[in-house]
Structure 1
Amino acid sequence: MTLGTLVEALALGLLEGLTEFIPVSSTAHLLLAAHFIGFESTGKAFEVLIQLGAVLAILVVYFQRFLRVALQLPTNPGARRFVLGIVLAFLPAAVLGVLLHGFIKSVLFESPVTICAALIFGGVVLIVLDRIAFKPRYNNAMGFPLKTAFGIGVFQCLALIPGMSRSGSTIVGGLVLGADKRSAAEFSFFLALPTMLGAFVYDFWKNRSALSLDDGLLIAVGFVAAFCAALLVIRWLLDFVSRHGYAVFGWWRIAVGLAGLAGVMLGY
């Protein structure tokens, strides 16, 4: 392992933290960036495991709210409904992710063309939806009905395709099912906790015998960088989407997808 490899891991970690919670697909950005700079990770574990660093930033930002929910669980039906809603939203992608893990990692993760196509398609969807005058029925991410939470979880299954974006899929699901722009993004934050923790544990277990100390150091560098960058994004994103919506992210996705396809066609 060289200093250059450590710098690449740091840069990829920052990229992960900056893109995890905006609907542009952090996985697509990581895989495309790694592809074009020639960064190789064992079993693509780096790209999955450092995502937990970004997700843990949610615990810092929302610590008091989560603590309040935990303390109220025995007595407050609303707190219990929120936790059950997160569990129901987590299950669809968790089950499909386990069943399709091999195909996703060995086929979809290795296809820059598929990733770029998913980026472009998701970008078009965001732009179209941002122009629709939805009439939101819900503005509290911790008070969604259970059927709405489960429906958002079904949408999250789209994110098993690299490039579709976990946050993008869940935000679109929230908007379609009646959430306003801010609460859709916030529920996506909350759902990221069990989803990415599950992905971390499962992927680590699957790659445990192949990972070396060098791999561990690279993952640690990327993990910390992702955590720090995500703290900034979480605090900024909710106010931004409340004022400006999601179209800008759609255009960004399309630009990155087209640039990626051009790079692939040119043989990079």
Structure 2
Amino acid sequence: MPDNQSSMPFPAIPVQRPRQQVENQIKRAIVDGTLKDGERLPAEQALAQSFNVSRTTIREALRSLVEGGLLEKGPGTTSGLYVQSVDHNSFSRIVSERLSSVLDIGSVSPEEVAGFRDLLEVPSARLAAEFRSDSNLANLHDIIDRERSVTYDDPAIPELNAQFHCEIANASGNRVLAAFVSALHRTAHPLTLVNITEELGRDSVIHHVNVYRAIEKRDPGAAAEAMQGHLSYLRNHSVTDGNLASIG
């Protein structure tokens, strides 16, 4: 007698729990644009009726989507949940929030942040030299011009520095890499413990120019080498106390 179970033409599909079904359907609606960025979700009771499940099931599904960064709570206790955009910018925002929490409780050291930066920014420069556009070059050139126009202790320097490194990451063509680099600079402020001197500020701009020129020439090896040299130089000038700045 044939084994009916082994002769089934379709593979067995695991049955999802109600919470997973609700979560997946809402997630699919966000990804395909049925639920728009910034749109407010219906109340729990309305969702429970629509999905024909309990409010507890809805609450569990929504909590998971909030933790995953697809939904966010509005201001106040009764404002509801809103859809967050699904792109590399929203991903960067989620990474920033998590990284900020880790840094706030002190479970990550500055040395670990610096090491992670090497892992991100050296390949970023290499890729930028391969895939950069004329627009990327124009943006980098503009940032360097503005860095040259201010003094080393100008409050605008940290933001200009972040813009420079983020633009290189954007030029890499890898949006996941760009999201992490942006999160790192906006939240961790890498190498913030730097001994501020006029010489260091001047050298940092020179390093940026060297990275720019390698990217302009589409020389991945030179771009990676220039970025690594820049980061190593700053690490050698970092301090644990005293006069601090976010030059990087």
TM-score of the aligned structures, taking structure 1 as reference length: 0.25
The TM-score, its normalising length taken from structure 2, stands at 0.26
**CA radius of gyration, larger in:** 2
Between the two structures, name the one with larger relative contact order (CA 8 Å, sep ≥ 6).
Answer: 1
Structure number with the higher helix fraction is 1
